[in-house]
Amino acid sequence: MRNILKEKPAKQVVHWSLLAVLVLYVLTGFGITAYRTVELVTFGLLGKALAFKIHDDLIIPFVVLMGLHIYQQTKQTAKE
Amino acid sequence: MKNLIFSLHRFSPTKKVVLKTITFLSMVSMALVVGSGCGTGGTTRLQPAEINEYQGEKLSSINDFRENSIRGPQHVDLGTYKLKITGLVDNPAEYTYDDVINNHQSYEKVVKLDCVEGWSVVILWQGVLLKDLLAEAKVKPEAKVAIFKAWDGYTTSLPLDFIISNNILIAYKMNGVTLPPERGFPFELVAESKWGYKWEKWVTQIELSDDVNYQGYWEQRGYSNSADINGDFLEK
């Protein structure tokens, strides 16, 4: 049976999305703990309050994408 | 060995050199004694070490805080410092640091500070009751909010009822030692049961206002104005 989640386009979407989420997660983390620097570097775009909101909201996408990423890398052992 | 004995034997200083050496060493010793504070007649009181336990309760250290102020630690000049009480008061007041700590009843309280960043500290705070200062300033009945302004431009606010009913302190000591500059010397607001951004450091002015919607520095940037520790600090 065809498993669309294990096909190359789906894998690529998950991989790149996971990378983007990870980068954003780290950046917003610094946006909280080193907010003065991050606010300066991002020309005031990423303030501490916004960083908090994004950081909090990213947890579910991160867990979902990580789960999919792990699933896509597992070998199909069951006989089809 | 022979060489050493020979060289020592050869070194025979004159009386003048010996006298000069003794005089010089005496002067150095005296300078050291005077410099160390001994022999001046007075006693230099040293800052005691901070306490780490109070009535069986384990306290955090002053160093357990993370520096997250808007402009970094401030070094307030006590020579020019005044704590002002302004706005909706009949008797606007200006206190020097000594006025506040010497002419008002002091209180101690163990209060936990919870920061929105996820860390917390339990500290023994010593200070004066804000309501004592406000009583001296004779707050007008229409005043609803106290707006706190700091040396670094930071602002926040607390409802007047909350300050009075919760015996909110403005602290000048923590764990038995004077607030260090990075912790808000000369005064830090002890806004118990509120998130850390209400605990203003380096307080310079308390302005009484009837603007219940006043928003301070972080409140303008999306933080909750009520800042209740049991609620979310971000406005939905």
Contact A52 B68 (CB under 8 A): no
Strand partners, B215: none
Do B186 and B97 touch, CB atoms closer than 8 A?
A: yes
Q: What is the reported pLDDT for A32?
A: 93
Cβ count near B194 (within 10 Å): 23
Low-confidence stretches of chain B (pLDDT beneath 50): 1-11, 30-40
Q: Distance between alpha carbon B112 and the CA centroid of its chain, in Å?
A: 17
Supply the mean pLDDT for chain A: 89
Kindly state the tokens that stand for B18. 């010996």
Task: Report ipTM (2 d.p.).
Answer: 0.72
Degrees to nearest 5, angle at CA B16 with B11 and B18? 55
Chain B nearest-CA distance from A49, in A, is: 6
Contact B70 A33 (CB under 8 A): no
Q: In A, which residues are within 8 Å of B223 by CB distance?
A: 49
Q: What is the reported pLDDT for B9?
A: 46
* Rounded Cα distance, A54 and B105, in Å: 46
Chain A nearest-CA distance from B222, in A, is: 6
Q: In B, which residues are within 8 Å of A53 by CB distance?
A: 222, 234
Chain B residues touching chain A at CB-CB below 8 Å: 66, 68, 70, 116-117, 218, 221-223, 234
Q: Which residue of A has its CA nearest to B233?
A: A49
* Rounded Cα distance, B69 and B64, in Å: 15
* Rounded Cα distance, B58 and B129, in Å: 24
User: H-helix or E-strand containing B150?
Assistant: strand B145-150
Q: What is the reported pLDDT for A53?
A: 93
Strand partners, B109: B125
Contact B70 A36 (CB under 8 A): yes
Write the residue in A32, A53, A56 that is nearest to B117 by C-beta: A32
Give Cβ neighbours of residue B55 (< 8 Å, ≥ 6 apart).
B110
Q: In B, which residues are within 8 Å of A36 by CB distance?
A: 70
* Rounded Cα distance, A6 and B14, in Å: 99
Q: Which residue of B has its CA nearest to A32?
A: B117
Give Cβ neighbours of residue B137 (< 8 Å, ≥ 6 apart).
B85, B89, B90, B91, B92, B93, B208
- Tell me: cis bond preceding A61? Omega within 30 of 0 counts: no
Examine the pLDDT at A43 and tell me if it is beyond 80: yes
Examine the pLDDT at A46 and tell me if it is beyond 60: yes
DSSP string, A6-47: GSHHHHHHHHHHHHHHHHHHHHHHHHHHTHHHHHHHTTTSS-
Contact A52 B116 (CB under 8 A): yes
Write the residue in A32, A36, A47 that is nearest to B221 by C-beta: A47
DSSP 8-state assignment for residue B166 = T
Give Cβ neighbours of residue B154 (< 8 Å, ≥ 6 apart).
B69, B70, B71, B200, B201, B202, B216, B217
Write the residue in A33, A36, A48 that is nearest to B221 by C-beta: A48
Nearest to B139 by CA among B127, B148, B130: B130
Kindly state the tokens that stand for B83. 């704590």
Q: What is the reported pLDDT for B15?
A: 60
Task: Assign A77 a pLDDT band (cuts: 50, 70, 90).
Answer: low
Chain B nearest-CA distance from A47, in A, is: 8
